[in-house]
């Protein structure tokens, strides 16, 4: 893919707006397989075909809060030209968790002309403008995450220059069909393998939390609601699976003594064999012996479908999984970098001169209000002795002399 850069610091500011129906052809041309920047779980081309059919409905659903309002959230960048506006790039974002505190940058792509260098290091270029626009536009987001191939040096430079820092390195493994047949022949019975339902959301949430470092747990900011499937979302997912010739199989291993989930897998199976099968695997760090059993269980399920490879991902903090896959003979096909950026200091970035204390504590300032009369306001306020002395100090002095005289007379009398 080619990228646009301009050496001049006076880069023209682009007009960034939400995607429209007339932009879909340009997006499809930009995201051809030869120009795809990063690997994603769902193909952007397939998503574009779905958006073409339901664009009017998705546009209507984006006007009010619902589970589909961010199904296709894309912003495009335009630059003015003599012939009119010209599209120069786009960014695709989506919420990462149900609480919408963490958002994900799916992809950032920038067009260029022939002969321009393939760089994305200009801090005022189209890529940086798109990222900065989303960081300021999405007020709900406290943290942003993204995944980028380690070989995309220019894209890495773009993300680093906009404040993204690496979290973990991910490796995508490919298990070929012959290896899956060998694994399926092994005895991998799991007596406590149960199907997944919404009632098991808290178990899967605990397993997800314990299987990752504290920093990733804080960045992802998941809760049990993230592991539940809503009714309408489940219906749409079933329809998409039927339309795309796919099927999903998932299960988890329950530990009755601890009453906790110690393993979980999810398989996205291709019925027609046109695409590799995809797997998601979570294993408790104290039960790494589950890897052979769970992979064998998945291999047995895959045998019921057309012969195809299986894709599996592992992180660099999962040492046991990577060692097991290497010994197993799996082929690493891609290395990506998981990056994140916090936007807690979003207000500070928008005001480079700094914030004053009065601006930071606006909610604590006193607001002038008219007093409301009560039944106590009609009564005369009692005056204390100190207030009387302040009002008539001579009377107080005379009273003290009288008291001393009376006391002396009493003493003489006695």
The neighbour count for residue 340, using CB atoms within 10 Å, is 21
Average of pLDDT values for 383-408? 50
Q: Please report where in the chains the tokens 């799991």 appear, as a residue.
A: 190
Distance between start and end Cα atoms, the chain: 116
pLDDT for the residue 229: 85
344 alpha carbon, distance to own chain's centre: 14
pLDDT for the residue 183: 92
Secondary structure class of 371 (helix, strand, coil): coil
Buried b (16+ CB within 10 A) or exposed e, 118-140: ebbbbeebbbbbbbbbbbeebee
- Alpha-carbon gap, residue 297 to 190, rounded angstroms: 8
Residue 265 DSSP label = E
Predicted TM-score (pTM) of this structure:
0.75
More confident residue, 257 or 373: 257
Q: Please report where in the chains the tokens 């958006």 appear, as a residue.
A: 51
Which pLDDT band holds residue 273 (cuts at 50, 70, 90)? Answer: confident
Determine contact, residues 37/152, Cβ cutoff 8 Å: yes
pLDDT for 79 beyond 90: no
pLDDT for the residue 119: 44
pLDDT for the residue 87: 87
Average of pLDDT values for 185-210? 90
Determine contact, residues 88/16, Cβ cutoff 8 Å: no
- Alpha-carbon gap, residue 301 to 267, rounded angstroms: 9
pLDDT for 3 beyond 50: no
- Alpha-carbon gap, residue 42 to 240, rounded angstroms: 12
pLDDT for 414 beyond 50: no
Alpha-carbon dihedral angle through residues 324, 330, 336, 340, given to the nearest 10 degrees? -30
Q: Which residues pair with 248 in a beta bridge?
A: 268
Domain boundary assignment for the chain: 15-163, 171-335
pLDDT for the residue 369: 57
Could you give the C-alpha distances from 290 to 269, 283, 286, in angstroms and in order? 22, 7, 10
Per mean pLDDT, which of 110-124, 306-320, 381-395 is the most reliable? 306-320
pLDDT for the residue 232: 73
Per mean pLDDT, which of 48-62, 290-304, 385-399 is the most reliable? 290-304
Which pLDDT band holds residue 233 (cuts at 50, 70, 90)? Answer: confident
136-161 residue pLDDT tens: 999 899 999 999 999 988 889 999 99
pLDDT for the residue 335: 95
Average of pLDDT values for 197-215? 94
Determine contact, residues 162/132, Cβ cutoff 8 Å: yes
Let me know if the fold of 15-163 is the same as that of 171-335: yes
- Alpha-carbon gap, residue 311 to 333, rounded angstroms: 9
Average of pLDDT values for 219-240? 85
What is 15-163's CATH number? 3.40.630.30
Per CATH, the homologous superfamily of domain 171-335 is: Gcn5-related N-acetyltransferase (GNAT) (3.40.630.30)
- Alpha-carbon gap, residue 350 to 341, rounded angstroms: 16
The neighbour count for residue 331, using CB atoms within 10 Å, is 12
pLDDT for 236 beyond 80: no
315-346 residue pLDDT tens: 999 999 999 999 999 999 999 999 999 987 54
- Mean per-residue pLDDT of the chain: 79
Instruction: Give percent above pLDDT 70 in the chain.
Output: 73
Our CA angle for 198, 201, 207, nearest 5°, is 150
Which pLDDT band holds residue 377 (cuts at 50, 70, 90)? Answer: very low
Average of pLDDT values for 21-31? 84
Secondary structure class of 342 (helix, strand, coil): strand
More confident residue, 144 or 110: 144
Token pair belonging to 230: 């809503």
pLDDT for 272 beyond 90: no
């Amino acid at each position: 893919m080619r990228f646009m850069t301009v050496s001049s610091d006076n880069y023209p500011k682009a007009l960034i707006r939400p995607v429209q129906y007339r932009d879909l052809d340009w997006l499809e041309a930009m995201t051809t397989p030869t120009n795809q920047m990063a690997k994603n779980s769902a193909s952007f081309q397939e998503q574009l075909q779905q958006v073409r059919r339901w664009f009017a409905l998705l546009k209507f659903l984006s006007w009010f809060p619902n589970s589909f309002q961010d199904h296709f959230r894309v912003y495009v960048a335009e630059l003015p030209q003599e012939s009119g506006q010209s599209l120069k790039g786009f960014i695709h974002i989506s919420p990462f968790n149900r609480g919408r505190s963490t958002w994900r940058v799916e992809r950032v792509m920038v067009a260029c002309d022939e002969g321009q260098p393939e760089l994305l290091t200009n801090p005022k270029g189209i890529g940086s403008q798109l990222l900065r626009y989303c960081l300021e536009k999405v007020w709900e987001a406290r943290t942003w995450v993204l995944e980028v191939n380690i070989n995309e040096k220019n894209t890495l430079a773009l993300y680093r220059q906009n404040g993204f820092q690496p979290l973990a390195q991910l490796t995508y493994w490919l298990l070929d069909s012959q290896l899956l047949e060998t694994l399926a022949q092994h005895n991998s019975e799991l007596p406590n393998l149960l199907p997944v339902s919404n009632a098991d959301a808290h178990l899967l949430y605990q397993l997800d939390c314990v299987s990752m470092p504290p920093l990733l747990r804080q960045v992802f900011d998941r809760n049990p609601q993230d592991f539940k499937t809503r009714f309408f979302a489940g219906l749409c997912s079933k329809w998409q699976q039927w339309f795309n010739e796919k099927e999903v199989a998932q299960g988890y291993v329950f530990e009755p003594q601890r009453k906790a989930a110690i393993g979980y897998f999810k398989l996205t199976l291709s019925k027609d064999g046109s695409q590799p099968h995809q797997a998601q695997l979570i294993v408790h760090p104290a039960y790494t012996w589950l890897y052979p059993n769970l992979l064998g269980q998945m291999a047995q399920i895959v045998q019921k479908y057309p012969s195809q490879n299986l894709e599996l991902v592992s992180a660099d903090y999962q040492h046991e999984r990577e060692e097991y896959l290497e010994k197993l003979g799996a082929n690493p096909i891609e290395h990506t970098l998981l990056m994140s950026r916090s936007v807690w200091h979003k207000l500070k970035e928008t005001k480079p001169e700094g914030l004053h204390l009065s601006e930071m504590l606006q909610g604590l300032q006193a607001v002038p209000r008219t007093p409301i009369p009560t039944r106590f306001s009609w009564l005369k306020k009692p005056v204390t002795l100190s207030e009387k002395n302040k009002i008539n100090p001579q009377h107080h002095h005379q009273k003290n002399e009288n008291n001393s005289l009376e006391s002396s007379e009493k003493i003489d009398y006695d």
